[in-house]
Structure 1
Amino acid sequence: MASQACLLLQKQLKDLCKNPVDGFSAGLVDENNIFEWSVTIIGPPDTLYEGGFFNAIMSFPPNYPNSPPTVKFTSEIWHPNVYPDGRVCISILHPPGDDPNGYELASERWMPVHTVESIVLSIISMLSSPNDESPANVEAAVSDCRLS
């Protein structure tokens, strides 16, 4: 029997195939693994990333949607909210509930209502508006502040 995570991810994949969203494409890395997706994001207009194509892997845990996926760019990207190894650091990808460090509200963190589409749209928004307050890549945050 397919798990709730499998069924939900299959539905989201089907929806994205039927109704593609401007700004990105997504599909499975391997047809036999619904838990690992390949995502290509088109650099948003009026940003340093405009016109670029950025590839990432989205990996879902077996208890999705109760826990968030991880997203890691496989393309090189220099951004305050992307770790040097490519992992994306945004609030909606942080575990649900209160932030042990007190930086984020529970409402800003992962919630099971998020979908592949809402996650990728949040990443596109992150590319347009970096959060320098809580950088994953301090060097990129410092240079980004100098560019502003």
Structure 2
Amino acid sequence: MPAARSFLNGASSPYSTSRPGSTKPGTPISATSNCSLILRKQLLDLQKYPVDGFSAGLVDDDNILEWQIVIMGPADTLYEGAILKARLIFPPEYPILPPKMIFDSEMWHPNVYSTGDKKGEVCVSILHQPGDDEWGYEDAGERWLPVHTVESVLISVISLLSQDVPDLNSPANVDAAKEVREDFPSYKKKVKRLARRSAEEAYD
């Protein structure tokens, strides 16, 4: 797969911009400053050394805490040919705490919420709060660690989409998980249809 284009220098993007975020009230200036420095370095690194499969940039040049992401559907998967739009939203405490990743493209996957306030949000171990899982599904080492970067997060999400059969443990989308179990051909058909739609909508 060719390297996805970077949108970090103001190049035209199929991604529509959204509203800028804001710093949480009461967040220490030092924490916010450290977060900003780390994110700007990661942004620069991705600009200098693009990674196959995705592009990353800022939704708003004045807001380092919200990034726009475009994932190119991995070859030989149900998402092949897709152009998936998403956002990464970082807390001021990053990298101590993980970002949220939210798909703006419509998704049908057991690990992506499909309704409510969390619609589009990715539920994957690497984005879960650090420490032990109170439900016992994950080891602390599988969850968020400060050594993770935007690149490692996106590679994990692309790996998630590349699975032949999605992980059905503790699904975010119970209906999608049920369809995987009971009617996998129907699940695959729906995912492929949404993948085609994402490509069609990318440049609308």
Q: In the alignment, does 2:140 pair up with 1:106?
A: yes
1:83 aligns with 2:113: yes
Which residue of structure 2 lines up, in the alignment, with residue 51 of structure 1? 81
- What is the CA–CA distance in structure 2 between the aligned matches of 1:17 and 1:24, rounded to whole Å? 12
- Structure 1: how far apart are the matches of 2:78 and 2:108? 10
Structure that is richer in helix per residue? 2
Kindly report the root-mean-square deviation, in angstroms, between the aligned alpha carbons of the 2 structures.
1.3
Match of 1:7 in 2: 37
Q: Please, which of 162, 184, 198 is the counterpart of residue 147 of structure 1? A: 184
**Structure 1 residue 123 corresponds to structure 2 residue 153:** no
CA–CA separation in structure 1 for the residues paired with 2:180 and 2:145: 29
| Deviation for aligned residue 1:83 | 0.3
Equivalence for 1:133? 169
- For structure 2, which runs of at least 5 residues remain unmatched after alignment? 1-29, 186-204
The AA in structure 2 aligned to 1:15 is D
- Between 1:123-132 and 1:83-92, the stretch displaced more is 123-132
- One of 71, 74, 81 as aligned partner of 2:101: 71
Q: Aligned to 1:3, what secondary structure does the other structure show?
A: helix
> TM-score with structure 2 length normalisation?
0.70
- Partner of 1:60 in structure 2? 90
Distance, in Å, in 2 between the alignment partners of 1:96 and 1:13 is: 23
Q: CA deviation at 1:100?
A: 1.1
TM superposition shift of 1:138: 1.1
TM-score for the superposition, normalised by structure 1:
0.96
SS of 1:55's equivalent in the other structure is strand
How many residue pairs get aligned? The number is 148
Partner of 1:38: 68
Q: Which runs of 4+ in 1 moved over 2 A?
A: none
SS at 1:96 equivalent: coil
- Partner deviation per Cα, 1:67-114 (whole Å, 9 max, x = no partner): 000000001011110000100000010000001111100000000011
Give the whole-Å Cα distance in 1 for the aligned partners of 2:73 and 2:109. 12
Letter in 2 for 1:110: W
Q: Is 2:64 aligned against 1:28?
A: no
Amino acid at match of 1:100: E
Sequence identity percentage: 59
Distance in 2 (CA, whole Å) between partners of 1:143 and 1:93 is: 25
- Partner SS, residue 70 of structure 2: strand
